[in-house]
A and B are shown apart, each in its own frame.
Chain A
Amino acid sequence: MPGSARRSRLTLRLLALGYLAALLAIPVAMVFYRTFEHGIGPAWDAVTTPPAQHAFWLTVMMVAIAVPLNTIFGIGLGLAIVRGRWRGKTLVSAIVDLPFAVSPVVVGLALILVYGNKGWIGGVFAENGIRIIFSTPGMVLATIFVSLPFVVREVVPVLREIGVEQEEAASTLGASSWQTFWRVTLPAIRWGVAYGVILTTARALGEFGAVAVVSGKIEGQTETMTLFVEQRFQAFDLTGAYAASVVLALFALAVIGTMTLLDRRKET
Chain B
Amino acid sequence: MAIDVHHVSKSFNGFKALDDVSLSVPDGSLTALLGPSGGGKSTLLRVIAGLEEPDSGEVLFSGEAVTTLPAQERGVGFVFQHYAAFKHMTVRDNIAFGLKIRKRSKSEVRERVDELLALVHLGGWADRYPAQLSGGQRQRMALARALAVQPRVLLLDEPFGALDATVRKELRDWLRRLHDEVHVTTIFVTHDQEEALEVAQQVAVINAGSIEQTGTPDDLYERPANPFVRIQPALGDGTPVPVLATRQQADDLELHAGQIVWLRVHHMREFAA
Cα distance, A174 to B76, chains bound together (Å): 9
Kindly identify which residue among B51, B75, B88, B142 contacts A168, using a CB–CB cutoff of 8 Å. B51
Cα distance, A23 to B208, chains bound together (Å): 63
**Which chain B residue has the least Cβ–Cβ distance from A186?**
B88
B88 adjacent to A187 (CB under 8 Å)? yes
Known A165-B82, A188-B87, A188-B88; judge A173-B97 contact (CB<8 A): yes
A176 beta carbon closer than 8 Å to chain B = yes
The distance from the CB of B33 to the nearest CB of chain A, in whole angstroms, is: 17
B71 adjacent to A172 (CB under 8 Å)? yes
Known A173-B149, A174-B72; judge A168-B102 contact (CB<8 A): no
Interface string of B59-86 (1 = CB under 8 A from A): 0000000000011111111101010111
Cα distance, A179 to B142, chains bound together (Å): 19
Cα distance, A179 to B145, chains bound together (Å): 17
A238 beta carbon closer than 8 Å to chain B = no
Cα distance, A187 to B73, chains bound together (Å): 24
B86 adjacent to A168 (CB under 8 Å)? no
The distance from the CB of B80 to the nearest CB of chain A, in whole angstroms, is: 5
Kindly identify which residue among A169, A176, A187 contacts B78, using a CB–CB cutoff of 8 Å. A169
The distance from the CB of B230 to the nearest CB of chain A, in whole angstroms, is: 29
Cα distance, A58 to B142, chains bound together (Å): 51
B98 adjacent to A173 (CB under 8 Å)? yes
Kindly identify which residue among B78, B82, B86, B102 contacts A172, using a CB–CB cutoff of 8 Å. B78
B101 adjacent to A172 (CB under 8 Å)? no
A171 adjacent to B84 (CB under 8 Å)? no
Known A165-B80, A179-B101; judge A171-B51 contact (CB<8 A): yes
A171 adjacent to B101 (CB under 8 Å)? no
Which A residues, 143 to 184, have Cβ-Cβ distances below 8 Å to chain B? 165-166, 168-176, 179, 183-184
B49 beta carbon closer than 8 Å to chain A = yes
Interface string of B152-191 (1 = CB under 8 A from A): 0000000000000000000000000000000000000000
**Which chain A residue has the least Cβ–Cβ distance from B97?**
A173
The distance from the CB of A229 to the nearest CB of chain B, in whole angstroms, is: 42
- Residues on A with C-beta less than 8 A from B49 are 172
Known A165-B82, A179-B101; judge A172-B77 contact (CB<8 A): yes
- Residues on B with C-beta less than 8 A from A169 are 78, 80, 84, 86, 142, 145
Interface string of A187-215 (1 = CB under 8 A from B): 11010000000000000000000000000
9 residue pairs from A and B, CB less than 8 Å apart: A165-B84, A166-B86, A169-B80, A172-B78, A173-B145, A173-B149, A183-B97, A184-B86, A187-B88
Q: Which residues of A contact B (CB under 8 A)?
A: 165-166, 168-176, 179, 183-184, 187-188, 190
